[in-house]
Chain A
Amino acid sequence: MSAGLNFDPMRLPAECQTLRAQVRAFLAEEIAAGTFDPHDPAHSDSYNRAFSRRVGAKGWIGMTWPKKYGGHDRSYLERYVVTEEFRVANAPANLHFVADRQSGPILLKYAPEHIKADILPRICRGELCFAIGMSEPGSGSDLFAAKTKATKADGGWRINGTKIWTTSAQVADFMLGLFRTSPPTKDNRRHGLTQFLIDMKTPGITVNPIRQMTGKVGFNEVVFNDAFVPDDHVMGEIDGAWKQATSELAYERSGPERFLDTFYLLPEFIRALGPEPDLRSAEGLGRLVAQLHTLRRMSVSVAGMLHAGKEPVVEGSIVKDVGTVWEQKLPARVRELAAFLEPESVNHTALEDQVAFATIIAPKLTIQGGTTEILRGIIARGLGLR
């Protein structure tokens, strides 16, 4: 009954709140030093190698990984706190974030020992940026339609084809990508894809940046022309990447980044409202606060399940579905609520700028990392719809 949805009231343990204070102090220092402006979301997606190194030096990348690979043996819940504080501050974590969230864990699971020993410590030091090579011109949500080929060669594989919409490829040091090593079989169309670790400096790789509707470069076309990948860069089972994909998804889908991408609008709106808002604004704000608190409690609950070693795939997908729809609507809600603000309020221009920026980026929030439609398909399956 009730399709087994589980959202226990997980509370972050005391050590998380100590860590939170440390993270806030660090971010305050960085803001004071001019590294980034917490009120300017337009630059939170920049790649700042020096900043990422300082974050690494603090021990906040690869937090949950074993010490022998440069990690810190800390809990998933502690990582959660670092992630949410960075998001809320608009800190520029793009350089290391993907490596920390999903590339590192994949390497930990599937890479041969010498590669783990080489690459993981560098991720932890904040030195490496990772891209994820999934989408292709003819294959987006339908991951298993990928055509870009890896053909067996002496001592490795030759890759030919094109990946597209690849975030961070213009700066990435490595890519973890899915490539076709065999055709799909009749009874399993997901068969035949293999996951590879690609050094982006490999000859034969061309990165063509694609300008987004924000006017900035965020994703890329990556063309492979006989690029050579050595055998030891195969991650996991040849032709069997489809078996590896699902269990990591809950980590990727349920984190605070799935509902905090436009968070900055709320404090800015509160600042513009002042301490005695009219009834309409107060009600509108109150609903948004309730919705945010709910999402965070859902997300923390999933974090607790992951921490306990469970695989809450449906719950994680629900957090991303509800969370991204909410963060996408937030600019529209704040825009409506701000319609009657006094134009003299001190930060009116700042709020308008933020609403404008968030309105432009909003469409991507329900597309990147698994579209709403795909997520709902996963949820429906998890509910037992046949």
Chain B
Amino acid sequence: MPGDSDHIVADIAARIFADFADPQTVNSAADGAWKKRLWQALGDAGLPLAWVPETLGGSGASMADGFAILAAAGRSALSVPLAETLAAGWLLSRAGLDAPAGPMTVAPVRPNESITVDGEGRLNGRAAGVPFAFDCETIAVLADGGKRVALVDREDCRVAQGHNLAGDASNVVTFDRVQPLRLARAPDGFDAWSLPLMGSAIRSTQIAGALQTILSLSVAYANERVAFERRIGKFQAVQQNLARLAGEVAAALAVSASAADAVAQAGDFDEAKFLEVASAKIRTAEAAAEGSAIAHQVFGAIGFTQEHILHRFTLRMLSWRDDFGNESYWAAELGQRVARGGAGEFWPLVASR
């Protein structure tokens, strides 16, 4: 697994997830009390602000460490706004703003939505599908088409009830002359793509992580469940399906790790990074759909129950496809860019990675 041996931070994260957010325990928990304990432990370990330098109040981990934390979070189908807080911390610190404690989220997360700053420095606009907005204290905003970064108090915004496929909060947030807590110019090289690109690299990493667990759960189940007096993993039809699942997991792992590595390198988002991140979002989303279908087929009826943990992984990764632009959206953008580059530039671009 990428990161497991290289990143001590990720090992710490994985241990906290196992101790405080075990999928089985969480799935049968009567209430959300576990979230408080989990967040406390994450905060004590400095994980939510991993991408914020120490000078701005964070723990100053590397980009690679942050992605390793996110991969581990995906493997646990973590359902607290850790990825969102990492993204918000990244966005704020890139603009030189210090990060508050407590869970944060980011906006906008859908393509073609814009939040603008008016003459008096107040935010206006609407962002749909903002992950965990209801559970967060603050929202980091990339405003004015990528020219400004703001931090707003969630209570100053109108936040509508809503949730994603997996039941995690996902909200329409309306900014109506919201006075930001902090506001700064975005760094040079930033534009409206900067947040969708980072967000998509993050979601791709989480999807690949979830797929890893789905594969190991499915293989374990096929080796244990007996039908027709044989373990179902003995049947070639089941083996072929699981091999296909492994192919999807492999694709998701390879392309998301590559995108994370590309994003972790210094420099602006250029054509090569665009290829990496767009491809990661497209291909991991495809893998999520294929992989979810295969895993549910392997598990049969038990995998369709509330009681079983499979849905924590499948529904969450299916939801993650939609954040920061879904695969169709990124495919159209990538296709347009490749077409604009022309036939002669195509292979050199692919081979440059």
Q: Which residues of A contact B (CB under 8 A)?
A: 1-9, 11, 20, 84-85, 88, 263, 266-268, 270-271, 273-277, 279, 281-287, 289-298, 301, 314-315, 318-319, 321-322, 373, 375-377, 379-380, 383-386
Are the C-beta atoms of B279 and A290 separated by less than 8 Å? yes
Residues in B whose Cβ lies below 8 Å from that of A379: 242-243, 246-247
Known A-B contacts A5-B212, A9-B2, A292-B350; the reply to A277 vs B236 at CB < 8 A is no
Selected from B212, B250, B342, B344, the residue in CB contact (under 8 A) with A275 is B342
Binding stretch for chain A, among B77-85, B182-190, B326-334: B326-334
Binding stretch for chain A, among B24-32, B134-142, B156-164, B254-262: B254-262
Binding stretch for chain A, among B52-60, B89-97, B104-112, B214-222: B214-222
Offer 10 A-B interface pairs, CB within 8 angstroms, sorted by A: A2-B216, A85-B351, A263-B347, A277-B335, A287-B286, A289-B346, A290-B283, A294-B255, A379-B243, A383-B243
Known A-B contacts A267-B347, A383-B242, A386-B231; the reply to A297 vs B353 at CB < 8 A is yes
For residue B249, give the distance in angstroms from its CB to the closest CB of chain A.
6
B213 at interface by CB-CB < 8 Å: yes
Are the C-beta atoms of A293 and B243 separated by less than 8 Å? no
Are the C-beta atoms of B343 and A383 separated by less than 8 Å? no
For residue B70, give the distance in angstroms from its CB to the closest CB of chain A.
14
Are the C-beta atoms of A385 and B343 separated by less than 8 Å? no
Residues in A whose Cβ lies below 8 Å from that of B258: 9, 297
B297 at interface by CB-CB < 8 Å: no
B309-334 interface bits toward A, Cβ cutoff 8 Å, 1 = contact, 0 = none: 00000000000000000011011111
Query: In the docked arrangement, what's the CA distance between A67 and B231, Å?
Result: 52
Query: In the docked arrangement, what's the CA distance between A276 and B2, Å?
Result: 38
Query: In the docked arrangement, what's the CA distance between A20 and B350, Å?
Result: 13
Selected from A277, A315, A383, the residue in CB contact (under 8 A) with B339 is A277
Are the C-beta atoms of A2 and B353 separated by less than 8 Å? no
Residues in B whose Cβ lies below 8 Å from that of A377: 236, 239, 243
Are the C-beta atoms of B331 and A283 separated by less than 8 Å? yes
B282 at interface by CB-CB < 8 Å: yes
Selected from B233, B262, B351, the residue in CB contact (under 8 A) with A20 is B351
Residues in B whose Cβ lies below 8 Å from that of A4: 1
Residue of B nearest to A7 (CB): B254
Residues in A whose Cβ lies below 8 Å from that of B212: 1-2, 5
Are the C-beta atoms of A287 and B327 separated by less than 8 Å? yes
Query: In the docked arrangement, what's the CA distance between A133 and B247, Å?
Result: 29
Are the C-beta atoms of B1 and A6 separated by less than 8 Å? yes
B40 at interface by CB-CB < 8 Å: no
Selected from A285, A286, A298, the residue in CB contact (under 8 A) with B254 is A298
B65 at interface by CB-CB < 8 Å: no
What band does the interface of chain B fall in when counting residues whose beta carbon is under 8 Å from A? 35 or more
Are the C-beta atoms of B335 and A289 separated by less than 8 Å? yes
Residue of B nearest to A320 (CB): B247
Residues in B whose Cβ lies below 8 Å from that of A268: 343
For residue A120, give the distance in angstroms from its CB to the closest CB of chain B.
29
Selected from A270, A282, A283, A289, the residue in CB contact (under 8 A) with B279 is A289
Are the C-beta atoms of A283 and B332 separated by less than 8 Å? yes
Residues in B whose Cβ lies below 8 Å from that of A298: 250-251, 254-255
Residue of A nearest to B245 (CB): A383
Q: Which residues of B contact A (CB under 8 A)?
A: 1-2, 75, 212-213, 215-216, 219, 222-223, 231, 233-234, 236, 238-240, 242-244, 246-247, 249-251, 253-255, 257-258, 260-262, 275-276, 278-280, 282-283, 286, 327-328, 330-336, 338-340, 342-344, 346-347, 350-351, 353
Query: In the docked arrangement, what's the CA distance between A6 and B331, Å?
Result: 26
For residue A121, give the distance in angstroms from its CB to the closest CB of chain B.
30
Known A-B contacts A5-B249, A294-B283, A377-B239; the reply to A282 vs B219 at CB < 8 A is no
Known A-B contacts A267-B346, A276-B339, A281-B335; the reply to A385 vs B236 at CB < 8 A is no
Are the C-beta atoms of A376 and B244 separated by less than 8 Å? yes
Are the C-beta atoms of B343 and A270 separated by less than 8 Å? yes
Are the C-beta atoms of B257 and A8 separated by less than 8 Å? yes
Known A-B contacts A286-B334, A286-B335, A289-B334; the reply to A322 vs B328 at CB < 8 A is no
For residue B213, give the distance in angstroms from its CB to the closest CB of chain A.
7
Residue of A nearest to B236 (CB): A377
Residue of B nearest to A375 (CB): B243
Query: In the docked arrangement, what's the CA distance between A385 and B238, Å?
Result: 10
Query: In the docked arrangement, what's the CA distance between A270 and B330, Å?
Result: 17
Which 3 pairs show the lowest CB-CB distances between chains A and B? A286-B331, A286-B335, A282-B335
Residues in B whose Cβ lies below 8 Å from that of A287: 282, 286, 327, 331, 335
For residue B346, give the distance in angstroms from its CB to the closest CB of chain A.
5
Known A-B contacts A290-B279, A297-B258; the reply to A279 vs B219 at CB < 8 A is no
Residue of A nearest to B257 (CB): A9
Are the C-beta atoms of B233 and A84 separated by less than 8 Å? no
Residues in A whose Cβ lies below 8 Å from that of B213: 1-2
Residues in B whose Cβ lies below 8 Å from that of A380: 233, 239-240, 242-243
Residues in B whose Cβ lies below 8 Å from that of A283: 328, 331-332, 335
Are the C-beta atoms of B243 and A286 separated by less than 8 Å? no
> Which of A294, A322, A375, A380 lies at the interface centre, i.e. has the most chain B CB atoms within 10 A of its CB?
A294
Residues in A whose Cβ lies below 8 Å from that of B219: 3, 383-385
Residues in A whose Cβ lies below 8 Å from that of B336: 276-277, 282, 286
Query: In the docked arrangement, what's the CA distance between A383 and B243, Å?
Result: 8
Query: In the docked arrangement, what's the CA distance between A284 and B236, Å?
Result: 33
Residues in A whose Cβ lies below 8 Å from that of B223: 384-386
Residues in B whose Cβ lies below 8 Å from that of A385: 219, 222-223, 233-234, 238-239, 242
Query: In the docked arrangement, what's the CA distance between A85 and B215, Å?
Result: 34
Residues in A whose Cβ lies below 8 Å from that of B242: 379-380, 383, 385
Are the C-beta atoms of A5 and B253 separated by less than 8 Å? yes
Query: In the docked arrangement, what's the CA distance between A71 and B138, Å?
Result: 62
Are the C-beta atoms of B255 and A293 separated by less than 8 Å? yes
Residues in B whose Cβ lies below 8 Å from that of A266: 346
Residue of A nearest to B214 (CB): A2
Known A-B contacts A282-B332, A380-B240; the reply to A275 vs B340 at CB < 8 A is yes
Query: In the docked arrangement, what's the CA distance between A88 and B2, Å?
Result: 30
For residue B148, give the distance in angstroms from its CB to the closest CB of chain A.
29
For residue B238, give the distance in angstroms from its CB to the closest CB of chain A.
8
Known A-B contacts A285-B338, A290-B282; the reply to A297 vs B255 at CB < 8 A is yes
Query: In the docked arrangement, what's the CA distance between A6 and B249, Å?
Result: 10
